[in-house]
Amino acid sequence: MITIQGHTFHLQAGDISYAFTVDKAARNLYWGGAIGGEDLPKLAVEGFHSSFDPDTNAERGEYPVWNGHDFTLPCLKVQGTQRVHFLTYQSHELEKDGKTERLTLRFDSAAFTLALVYQLYPNGIIGRNSVITAKEPIQLEKAFSASVNLPCYQECEVRYAVGKWARENQLQQHPMSTGILTLQAKRGIPGPQYNPWVALCEKDAGETHGRVWFAALAYSGNWAMHIEKTEQGNTHIVAGVNDFDFAWALQPQQSYTTPVLYIGFSQDGYGAMSHLMHSFVREHILPPRGLRRVLYNSWEATAFDVRVEEQKRLAQKAAQIGCELFVVDDGWFGQRHSDKAGLGDWYVNREKFPNGLSDLIRYVKSLGMDFGIWVEPEAVNPDSDLYRTHPQWAYHIPGVEPMQARNQLSLNITLPEVQAYLKGMLGKLLRENDITFLKWDMNRPLTDMDSPELWSKHVQALYSLWAWLHQEFPHVELETCSGGGGRVELGSLAYAYQSWPSDNTDPYDRLFIQEGYTQLYPVDTMMCWVTESGEGRAPRSLDYRFCSAMCGGLGIGANLSKFTQEELEVCTRWIAQYKRWRPIIQQGVLYRLLSPIQGDMTAVQYVSQDRHEAVVFAFLRGQTYGTLRPPLRLQGLDADAEYAVNGTVYSGKTLCNAGISLALRRDFQSAALYIEKV
Ligand code: GLA
**Tell me: the pLDDT tens digits for 297-338?**
999 999 999 999 999 999 999 999 999 999 999 999 999 999
d(CA 176, CA 184): 17
User: How many of the other CB atoms lie within 10 Å of CB of 395?
Assistant: 21
**Per-residue DSSP letter, 441:** -
- So which residues are the catalytic ones? 441, 503
Ligand 1 in reach of 299 Cβ (< 6 A): yes
Ligand 1: centre distance to CA 441 (Å): 7
What would be the CATH architecture of the domain defined by 594-677? Answer: Sandwich (2.60)
Q: What is the DSSP annotation of 352-411?
A: T-TTHHHHHHHHHHHTT-EEEEEE-TTEE-SBSHHHHH-GGGB---TTSPPPPBTTBEEB
Q: To test the ligand 1 pocket, which listed residue (441, 442, 528) has its Cβ within 8 A of the most ligand atoms?
A: 441
CB-based contacts of 484, cutoff 8 Å, min separation 6: 165, 166, 168, 192, 500, 501, 502, 503, 504
Extract the residue ranges of the chain whose pLDDT is less than 50: none
User: Which residues, at least 6 apart from 277, have a Cβ–Cβ distance to it below 8 Å?
Assistant: 125, 214, 216, 262, 264, 519, 520, 521, 522
The pLDDT score that the predictor gives to residue 293 is: 98
Return the axis-axis angle of helices 356-366 and 308-321, rounded to nearest 10°.
Answer: 20
Q: Tell how strand 76-79 and strand 126-134 pair up.
A: unpaired
Rounded to 10 degrees, the C-alpha dihedral 218/219/224/228 comes to: -10
- DSSP state, 544? H
Phi, psi of 11 (to 5 degrees): -105, 125
Instruction: Please state whether beta strands 498-499 and 477-480 pair in parallel, antiparallel, or not at all (unpaired).
Output: parallel
β-pairing verdict for 157-162 and 88-97: unpaired
Distance 375 CA to ligand 1 centre (A): 10
CA of 670 to the centre of ligand 1 (A): 28
Q: Is 333 in the pocket of ligand 1 (CB under 6 A)?
A: no
Ligand 1 atom nearest residue 339's Cα: 12
Instruction: Report whether residue 418 contacts ligand 1, using a CB cutoff of 6 Å.
Output: no
Euclidean distance between CA atoms 650 and 643, whole angstroms:
5
481, 482, 492, best to mutate for ligand 1 pocket (most atoms within 8 Å of CB): 481
What's the whole-model pTM score?
A: 0.98
In 500-564, which residue ranges form alpha helices assigned H by DSSP?
509-517, 542-549
- Which of 139, 207, 201 is CA-nearest to residue 175? 201
Task: List Cβ neighbours of 112 (8 Å cut-off, separation of 6 or more).
Answer: 78, 80, 85, 132, 133, 134, 135, 136, 138, 250
| Contact in structure between 446 and 461 (CB atoms under 8 Å) | no
Cα 561 to Cα 314: distance, rounded to the nearest angstrom? 6
User: Which residues have CB under 8 Å from 635's CB, separation 6+?
Assistant: 208, 271, 591, 593, 605, 607, 656
Which one is the CATH code of 2-285: 3.40.50.10320, 3.40.190.10, 3.40.50.1100, 2.70.98.60? 2.70.98.60
Give pLDDT, residue 57: 67
485 lines ligand 1 (CB under 6 A): no
Q: How far apart are CA 237 and CA 154, in angstroms?
A: 13
**Domain locations in the chain as residue ranges:** 2-285, 295-586, 594-677
- For ligand 1, is residue 503 a contact (CB within 6 Å)? yes
| Per CATH, domain 295-586 is 3.20.20.70 | yes
Quick one: pLDDT at residue 309? 98
Ligand 1 atom with the shortest distance to the CA of 329: 10
